[in-house]
Structures are given as C-alpha cells and as structure tokens.
Amino acid sequence: MRGAVISKVVLGAALAVGLGVSEEMEAVHAPAVKLDVPKARPMSAEMTKALNAQLKAELESAYIYLGMAKWFDEQNLSGFAHWFRIQSEEEMTHFKKVYDFMQDRGVQVVLPSLEAPNSDFDSIVDVFLDGLKREQELTVQIHEIYSLAQDLREYDAGSFVLWFLQEQVEEENLFLSYIDHLIRIGGHDADPAAILWMDRELGNRAPEQG
C-alpha cells in the first residue's frame, strides 16, 4: 500500500514536470505576435534626388582639393599641399554627414563615379580662385536644397542643411582671405620669399574638430 502511494506521488511529480516542460516548449514555439509598427515618414523622390546630388558634390570637392594638393606637392610647396589635403578631408567629412543623414532617413543612397580632377594650374592664385568658385557652387546647391525642403515641407532635411549653410559662409571667406593676401604680395607675380612664408603658415593648419 505504501509503495502504491509513493508510486502515485512520483508519477504525479513526473506528470507535473512534464506538463511544465511541455508548456515551456509551447511558449517557445508559439507564433510571434504581429505588431503594427508605424513606418517612418518617407522622403520625397525630389528631396532624395537633391541629397544624392549633394552627396556627389561633396565627394567631388574632396577629389578636386586633392588634385590641388598634388599640384602644390609638385611645386615643392608642402605647406600649401598640406592645407589642401586638410580641405579635402573636410569635404569628406561633409560627404559622410550627408550619407549618415540619408541612412538615418532610410532613403536610397547612390554612390557616384567620379572623373579625375584637374591637377594642372598656371599659378597659386588660379588654384585659390578655382577653390573659391567651387565653394560658391556648393553654396548655391545647398541653398537650393533648403528652398526645396521648405516647398516640400521636408523640414528635417531643411534643418539638416542649415549647418552647411553656415559652413559655406566660413569656407568662402577663408578662400577670399587667402586670395586677398596673394594679391597683396603680388598676385601672379608674387614675391618668392612671401610665398615661402605663406607656405610655412599654411603648413600649420590643423584638421577640423567635430
């Protein structure tokens, strides 16, 4: 009799354990709950196209400034070359900012192919004039993106490019200041000693922080 009671207790415990395991297995294999997660607001095709164009422009600028650095290296003006390499790196930073924003918004990024940049110039002044022209082109393009953002009510994109608008003010003024200095020391016929002094100064340029 006592043996029978013990057997029933053991059997009951075994059934309880088995039932618990079965319930856990059912819980593991239960169908996933379907959640109706709202998707992020899609970006318009027009804005996506404009940002991809800006992405290409920033990458092209980095390449253009690298071509300028190459020319200065060939002229044995390492300070000027260093300055333009830093300028190229800053444009790559701008490229990454646009890229990251597009990825955060979940839009299609198109990585462009690029033509080889010009690396043959007539004078130092011509290099800086070309650099200023490039920055002015970027400014116009960024203004167009901001205007488009307002028209399409893409306010997040508009807010994003505000940083670039301020950056372009600084970039254009930077080139203008060096062009002014080059004119003061003789322009296309600048004094070689003054050029060497400027070369040393430009060689002290530090990378942009942040």
Q: Nearest 5°: CA angle at 169, between 157 and 78?
A: 115
Question: What are the pLDDT tens digits along the chain (210 aa)?
Answer: 544 544 444 445 444 445 454 555 455 565 667 777 666 788 999 999 999 999 999 999 999 999 999 999 999 999 999 999 999 999 999 999 999 999 999 999 999 999 999 999 999 999 999 999 999 999 999 999 999 999 999 999 999 999 999 999 999 999 999 999 999 999 989 999 999 999 999 999 999 875
Which DSSP string corresponds to 65-124? HHHHHHHHHHTT-HHHHHHHHHHHHHHHHHHHHHHHHHHHHTPPP-PPP-PPPP---S-H
Domains, the chain, in order of start with CATH, read 45-202 (1.20.1260.10)
Would you state the pLDDT for residue 11?
43
Rounded CA-CA distance 57/44 in Å is 20
Rounded CA-CA distance 106/127 in Å is 38
For the record, the structure tokens of 28 come out as 């593991």
Sequence-ordered strand ranges (E) for the chain: none
Would you state the pLDDT for residue 6?
46
Would you state the pLDDT for residue 13?
47
Residues 124 and 195 sit within 8 Å (Cβ to Cβ):
yes
DSSP 30: S
Q: What is the pTM of this model?
A: 0.80
Would you state the pLDDT for residue 46?
97
Would you state the pLDDT for residue 64?
98
DSSP 187: G
Rounded CA-CA distance 210/55 in Å is 19
DSSP 153: T
Closest by Cα among 182, 167, 94 to 130: 182
Please report how many Cα atoms fall inside a 13 Å half-sphere around the Cα of residue 152, on the Cβ side.
Answer: 19
Rounded CA-CA distance 9/169 in Å is 85
